[in-house]
Each structure stands twice: as C-alpha cells, then as structure tokens.
Structure 1
Amino acid sequence: MNIEPQNNIHIKVMPTSKFKTTTIALKFMAPMDSETMTARSILSKVLIRATKQWPSDKVFSKELSQLYGAYVNSYVSKFKDKHVITFTLELVNEKYLTDKTPLFEKGLNLLKEMIWNPLVNDEAFDETFVTQEKALLTKKLQSIVDNKSQISFLNLLQYMFGEQPYRHLSSGQVDYIPHVTAENLYHTYQSMLQDDFCAVYVVGNVDEQTVKSQVNTYFNLNSKSYALSLEAPQLQEHQRPQEIEEYDEVDQAKINFGYKLPATFGDTQYFAIAVLNMIFGGDPSSILFNEVREKQSLAYSIHSQIDAKNGYMFVLSGVSVDKVQTAKETVIKEFEKLQQGQFSEDKLELAKKVIISQRQESQDRPKSMIEILNNNILLDEPLTESMIIKEIQQVTKEDVTEVAKQTILDTVYVLTQGGEQSE
C-alpha cells in the first residue's frame, strides 16, 4: 500500500469545539529496524529537552510556561512495518484568551525550533542530555526484564516472527544503548529529517485551511517526496500451532497464544474481528474472563487483544503453575466454540455496545483522535465515526463465526516453573 504525501507532507486537521486546547502532533515514520529503533527512541527524548534558542531544561520550560503552560511530549510506537516518533504540543486555544496572543503560531514556531533547530554543536547533540536519556531508557528497559508478563509476550513474538524487528519493543533494546553516542545520534536525527515520511495532525477549534497553510509555512520539509509503503510483518515458517514451554523463576505461569487473523484494519471483515476479540477476551464481560477466570478459577488474569493493523490476535494470561495444562486446553476449547457459533446474541450485542462506547470515549481525548486520524492512512477512504459505529452495529453472529473459523492458532507459549530452573 502506498500513500503519496502532498508537498512532502501529510497534513490532517480535525476542527472541533470540544476542547479549550489545540493539540499538534508530528509523526516521523521510518522502516522498522532493530539497530535504529533504540537510537530513535533516545532521539525522541533528547529533542524535547532543549533547542539552540532555549539551550537548557530551565529556559525551555520557561518558554513553555510563557505559552500559557503549553505541554510538549514525545513517544515512539510501531505502525505496520514502520517505527514512529511522535512529537505532540498541547496549548490553550487562543480564542479563549482575553489578549490577542497568536498562540497557535507561537506553538508552531516552538515545534519548528525543537525539531529543526535542536541543541547541536559540531554535529553532535548535547553530551549531558544524551547520557541522561540513555540512563533513563536503560532503567526502563531493564525493568521490563523483571516483568515476566512483558517478557513472556516478547518471547511469544520472537517465536512467531523470528528475527523481524516487529518482535522488539518500539523503545528499543538494552544491548544497543551503549552504542549510541552524541555524534551518531546526530546522524540518526539527519536520517529522520531527510528520509522519514512525515505526517502532521491538528485537533482543536481551528480553521482547517488556515492551519494547513500555517503548517506548510513553518514546517518546510525538505525531505524527498516518496510514497509511504506499508506492509504487515509476516509469520516465520513453522508447524501450526507450535507449542513452546520455557522455564524461569515465576510466581505464576504465563500462557500466551498468538493467532493469525483473516483480515486487517481497512478490510470488510475488520469490524467482525473487532467484535470477535471483544466477545473472546477484550473486556470483563468476555468469555475468557467469565469461563477461565471467574467460573473455573484457572487464571489470575486473562485477556485478548488485537493488532488489527497487522492482522494478529494475542491472548495473554497468568495462571497457577499447577493449572497450566487445564488453562491451555480451556482457552483453545473456548475459541473452538466461537468457531462453531456457540455464543449468545446477548454476548454479541454487549460486545458491540462496549466497542461503540470505547470509540465514543476516544473522541473525548485529542491524542486518541490523532491516532484515529493516523490509522486512516491505511484506508482508501477515511472512515468517519458514524460510519464505524454503523459498521459495528451491523456485524452479525454469522460474521463473527466466519472470521473465527478463518482465524488460525499459530503459537502457544508457556513460561512456567520447573525445568532447569528447579534443579
């Protein structure tokens, strides 16, 4: 799938009077790569620390406070086969100010300074900031090593996707952090500016055409114009389902399941998949929660989640070490029941209500609206909120049964006590 940016830049504006603030987000997308993800993660944090014009935390914070307490943030994520750095700025909408401060333009100028005029000397970022952000990321990633739920999920992805970078966290890997320097981080930065696909989103009580014109003026991207090609990561070859059992010192066993769905976001079957996930394990009203956790007391925690953009569903659970086999068999059996249409119309209707309610709630948060706008990159025609709600409401029991039948259990991963650990 290819998206041609206009004037090298993809701009979407969502005018709404719901908020007293305006939120601006810039997303930089590059091919996911195990080696560059860590450096890009550090870069995302270094860039929001200071700029040439505001060369310290203190001075930069003062500038933000003078913009009526504007708030800057950055984070990294995965989107199809792309690694994404997102920068957001939230500021008060100038329409609600008594004075005539052109706050939106000042905000654009701040973002422009932050991204295009960072604190760089002799083609190297500030050593102190880089060292601090490396230490913070190290701490964050090392805490994940102690989180058995997170580790077991990453292990599941590794067995499903092999060496593909999709199996890694978007924030990177501890092993690559020591290799990031103030100098090579500058090269990562140059690559982001020159090679990434850039999308800009604005949500607030604004005029669409005026904002587009202002964004084009401030963010004069010199990057080469190219089509954004988006592919889903593919499963590696193996027998299905493959079953892996590994051992560690765990209080409770982790049993994770990876399923391949028959469709992705943008396909006609997507809405049935969303309902399927909600019925199966997406909510406390779901089958897994009721059957496995409440009725049979087999799991301390259990839920299912979908990566709809790539077409995968995961079931993640924590169970008693002595109930691993029963819990595993029960989850598989409950999904087979779905494939045979053994679920009530009440379950179907409740799942649809929960999805619609969650969608409506997301319209109350500017950042959720921005993610929804960004997901529309994957579509030939953007989906409006009313279209999505209508499609969800129209999903039938037969639709859910059909996508369940076409869903394949790819991998079952168990992390439990015993094995070499118990010797």
Structure 2
Amino acid sequence: MKINETTVNNIPIIDIRTDKFKTFTIRISFRNTLDEKTTTIRNILSRMMIKRTKNLRTETELVQFLAKYYGAHLTEGTTKRGDSHIVNFTLEFANERFIHEDLNIFNDLCEFLNDILTTPFEYTDEWQSFLDQEKRLHKNKLSLLLDSSMQRAYINMLNIMFKDEPNRHMSFGKIDEIDSITLEDIMKEHKKMMEEDEMVVLVVGQTTDNNIKSLEKIYSRDNYVKLPFNGFNGQVSNVINYQTDVEKIEQAKTILGFRIDKKQADMMSARIFNRMFGGGAASFLFMNLREKLSLAYQIHSELDIKNGVLFAIAGVDFNRVKETEIHVMKELEKFRNGDFTEEFLQESKNQFLSARLDAMDKPKGVIATLYGHFLAGIDFDYVDEQLSLVTKESVMNVAKHTHLDTVYTLTGGESNGSHTL
C-alpha cells in the first residue's frame, strides 16, 4: 500500500494505491465546526444531493445510471468528531481493468460526482416538492431513532452533561427543526459548505496517475481550506449531577458520564483502558456486572477520544440502578489500583491492533483510518509507536484521571428528579 497526498484544484487528495481491492472507493469529506443551527440542514442537504441531480432529475434515473456502471453504489453520511461536523459522500465502483468492455468508468464517475456536488447551486422553486419529501423522510428517520429508549436516554444524557457545550448536539440534527427548513436554507448551507468547509478527497484502489488526473473533474475551489481540528474543552468538576426521568418503559437505562483530564492522561492509554473497562466481551464491566453479578441485561463503555469523554451505558432492572452505579465505580477503582493483569493488558493491546488491521482489509476501513490520520496529522506508524508505549502504569493513570460527571437514568419507576453531589 502506497499513500500519496497531493493537492488538486485547491483540494487535498489522499491517493491510497493498493492491489488489495478490485474496486475503487472515492470518499469526499466536508468538515466544519459543529453548529446546532446547521446540522439538521446539512443532513437533509446531503440526502438531496445523492438522490437527484440537474442531469438525472429523478431517483430512478440516478439508480439506472449507476447500474450502467456495474452497480456503482453512492451513499452519504454525517458524523461528529471532536468539535467538527462531517458530511461524507462515498462512491464504490468497479475497476474497468477487470471488465471486458470499453468503458472509462473512473473518469465518467468523477464527472458524475461533480454533478452531485454542483446541482444545489441551481435549485429553483421546482425542487420544493423534493425538499418536502426529504424533510418527511428525515423526520421519519429521527422518529424511528427516538423510538429506542436507549437512544432517548443517550440524547437526554448529552443535554444534561453538556448543557452549555456544543458537544450536546447530535450529528443528525433535531426533529423539531425540520419543518422550518426552507429551500433557501438548503442553498445557503450548500454554498457555505462548498466554499468554507475543509474538503478532502480520498481514493483507494489500484489507482494510476491518469485516475488522479480524472479527480480534477470532481470540483475546483478558489482557495485551499484547512481548518483546525480540536476537541471541546470540557472542564473536570468535583460536582456530580444526577437526573432521573420516568417513561413507560420495561427496563431502566442508566448512563454514567465521565470526563478524562486530557492534560494528565495519555489518549492511547485511554483507548486501551476503555477496551479493558467496558469496551469488549472480556471487559470488566461485561464480565463482572453482567456475567457474574447479573446486574445488567446489557452494559458497555464508549470513549469519545477527541473530547476526553467516556460513558458507561447499561440496561438494568428499575430497582438495581443505584447498585449498578456503585459497582461501575468499583470496577473503575480496580483500574486505579492496578487490580488487573499484565496479560489482560497485552491481550487488549493485541485486540486493538487486530481491529486496526481488520479495518485495513476493507476499502471503507482504509479510508476511515487514513482520514483520521489526516485530521490528526499523524501516520500509521505513529499509532503503532504510541500503542507500544502503553503500560500498566499509564492505564492506571488514565483511570485516576477519569472523573464521574453525570449519572442519568431513564426509568419506569418513580422519578427522583435532579440533584447534585
């Protein structure tokens, strides 16, 4: 695998040249600061962009066009990372080298991507019904998402823990903002995205110099845009916030939110700590709270590495919420005291490494990994070097600087409201 970073038309290009895949994958990523005023709009905009263009005016036409190129597949997605909101467009398609037909698939689909990216500049009133359709679909999508009591609990948790911080916003936006979005809002956000977002094109496959030349057709910018990539600066507090809400649900959802002091803890060690604490089937939370104590129907931990935030998330009986919280803190205390083996540490490091290598066996995994490296300004070897430096002491240090901030419970029992300790 050979990685070349170049700039074409003021857009950074990451060319991941490999013989491992017989297909091409192109991803175009747009990144800007997470803003609650624009996340919902950006989600609807991205859906509109991949369904119809000025040259392919219906979804059927667009699907038929992609089918002509041996089932090329176009998707979009939004995510948040650190203090950023990211919109991705991904196109997967066959390498004409393996097709016995005179087609210039790579070049043609680069022109198609230009059609995708530039069509919203030409939206007129006749696109209004299309916008109305996508607003309905996005509302339905969020409604289905919110049908999950665990998802509602997680969103409520973010709103409480990050009350005055942008980190409380979800990447998919808010359902109550959808109705007010206008075609003018869509066009304005598209123009801003094309001019002000950091834009990166990543391509993986058996690329040639001619392929990279074809990428020029995707888009051209007047200026090169490079934005800072930071996390939110949440402050570690000695005050613990408690909030309990009541709904008609069959199982309590309790989430413990922790802040990690990033100035005191190594972030690679934090990754390994999370894997050992609750990030896998062999973790302390899973093995001890679920398997041994039968406290939780489900339990795991999640790490937001860029923002230094960790969540322990559990589904438990209504009358075992406090007991679960106590035992989660007991498991954390074990790590602070070094009550884990060197063998488990090494096993967790090996699992982390295996997961990275497994990701590199898939085109999308390669792109996701190398885009993360691009944002952080590091290379593949740097991650391996940092992993080799993780020790029992460094994991203990992470645990010692992991502080409980908020405990949120969504239950079917009685509400205790909110309070602090």
Q: TM-score, normalised by structure 1?
A: 0.91
For residues 354 and 39 of structure 1, the distance between their equivalents in structure 2, rounded to whole angstroms, comes to 38
For residues 180 and 58 of structure 2, the distance between their equivalents in structure 1, rounded to whole angstroms, comes to 25
For residues 363 and 96 of structure 1, the distance between their equivalents in structure 2, rounded to whole angstroms, comes to 22
For residues 69 and 145 of structure 1, the distance between their equivalents in structure 2, rounded to whole angstroms, comes to 33
**Contact 1:160–1:236, Cα closer than 8 Å, also in 2:** no
**Contact 1:55–1:119, Cα closer than 8 Å, also in 2:** no
For residues 76 and 169 of structure 2, the distance between their equivalents in structure 1, rounded to whole angstroms, comes to 19
Q: How many percent of aligned residue pairs carry the same amino acid?
A: 32
Matched residue type, 2:134: E
- Equivalent residue number for residue 149 of structure 2: 148
Of 404, 411, 414 in structure 2, the residue corresponding to residue 419 of structure 1 is 414
**Contact 1:51–1:113, Cα closer than 8 Å, also in 2:** yes
- Equivalent residue number for residue 117 of structure 1: 119
- Superposed displacement of residue 187, structure 1: 1.5
| Unaligned residue ranges in structure 1 (runs of 5+) | none
- Superposed displacement of residue 349, structure 1: 2.1
- Equivalent residue number for residue 249 of structure 1: 248
- Equivalent residue number for residue 206 of structure 1: 207
Matched residue type, 2:133: Q
**Contact 2:269–2:395, Cα closer than 8 Å, also in 1:** yes
**Contact 2:111–2:217, Cα closer than 8 Å, also in 1:** no
How big is each residue's C-alpha offset from its partner over 1:205-252, in whole Å with a ceiling of 9 and x where there is no partner? 113x54443323432123x43430222123368643322222222211
- Superposed displacement of residue 417, structure 1: 2.5
For residues 14 and 78 of structure 2, the distance between their equivalents in structure 1, rounded to whole angstroms, comes to 20
- Equivalent residue number for residue 90 of structure 2: 88
**DSSP-derived class of the 1:395 partner:** coil
Matched residue type, 1:361: D
**DSSP-derived class of the 2:26 partner:** strand
- Superposed displacement of residue 359, structure 1: 1.1
Q: Does 1:286 align with 2:283?
A: yes
Of 39, 42, 63 in structure 2, the residue corresponding to residue 40 of structure 1 is 42
**DSSP-derived class of the 1:89 partner:** strand
Alignment of 1:130-169 (within 5 A): 130-169=131-170
Matched residue type, 2:350: K
Alignment of 1:325-336 (within 5 A): 325-336=322-333
How big is each residue's C-alpha offset from its partner over 1:87-142, in whole Å with a ceiling of 9 and x where there is no partner? 111000122122342211111111011111358443x5722321221111111111
- Equivalent residue number for residue 220 of structure 1: 220
- Equivalent residue number for residue 310 of structure 1: 307
Alignment of 1:173-188 (within 5 A): 173-188=174-189
- Superposed displacement of residue 37, structure 1: 0.6
Q: Does 1:343 align with 2:358?
A: no
Of 11, 14, 18 in structure 2, the residue corresponding to residue 12 of structure 1 is 14
- Superposed displacement of residue 353, structure 1: 2.2
For residues 404 and 126 of structure 2, the distance between their equivalents in structure 1, rounded to whole angstroms, comes to 46
- Equivalent residue number for residue 58 of structure 1: 60
| Unaligned residue ranges in structure 2 (runs of 5+) | 1-5, 417-421
For residues 148 and 354 of structure 1, the distance between their equivalents in structure 2, rounded to whole angstroms, comes to 31
For residues 397 and 405 of structure 2, the distance between their equivalents in structure 1, rounded to whole angstroms, comes to 18
- Superposed displacement of residue 146, structure 1: 2.2
Matched residue type, 2:82: K
**Contact 1:250–1:416, Cα closer than 8 Å, also in 2:** yes
How big is each residue's C-alpha offset from its partner over 1:250-272, in whole Å with a ceiling of 9 and x where there is no partner? 211111111222339xx992221
For residues 191 and 365 of structure 1, the distance between their equivalents in structure 2, rounded to whole angstroms, comes to 32
For residues 407 and 37 of structure 1, the distance between their equivalents in structure 2, rounded to whole angstroms, comes to 30
Equivalent pairs, count:
412
- Equivalent residue number for residue 419 of structure 2: none
**DSSP-derived class of the 1:244 partner:** strand
- Equivalent residue number for residue 275 of structure 1: 272
For residues 333 and 151 of structure 1, the distance between their equivalents in structure 2, rounded to whole angstroms, comes to 27
Matched residue type, 1:11: I
- Superposed displacement of residue 145, structure 1: 2.5
- Superposed displacement of residue 40, structure 1: 0.6
**Contact 2:236–2:259, Cα closer than 8 Å, also in 1:** no
- Equivalent residue number for residue 322 of structure 1: 319
**DSSP-derived class of the 1:183 partner:** helix
**Contact 1:48–1:74, Cα closer than 8 Å, also in 2:** yes
For residues 125 and 368 of structure 1, the distance between their equivalents in structure 2, rounded to whole angstroms, comes to 39
For residues 212 and 7 of structure 2, the distance between their equivalents in structure 1, rounded to whole angstroms, comes to 14
**Contact 1:279–1:287, Cα closer than 8 Å, also in 2:** yes
For residues 88 and 370 of structure 1, the distance between their equivalents in structure 2, rounded to whole angstroms, comes to 10
- Equivalent residue number for residue 373 of structure 1: 370
For residues 326 and 420 of structure 1, the distance between their equivalents in structure 2, rounded to whole angstroms, comes to 17
**Contact 2:32–2:227, Cα closer than 8 Å, also in 1:** no
Matched residue type, 2:37: E
How big is each residue's C-alpha offset from its partner over 1:358-388, in whole Å with a ceiling of 9 and x where there is no partner? 111111221121111111133333234xx53
- Equivalent residue number for residue 78 of structure 1: 80
**DSSP-derived class of the 1:126 partner:** helix
For residues 92 and 160 of structure 1, the distance between their equivalents in structure 2, rounded to whole angstroms, comes to 46
**DSSP-derived class of the 1:178 partner:** coil
Matched residue type, 1:24: I
Of 377, 392, 404 in structure 1, the residue corresponding to residue 399 of structure 2 is 404
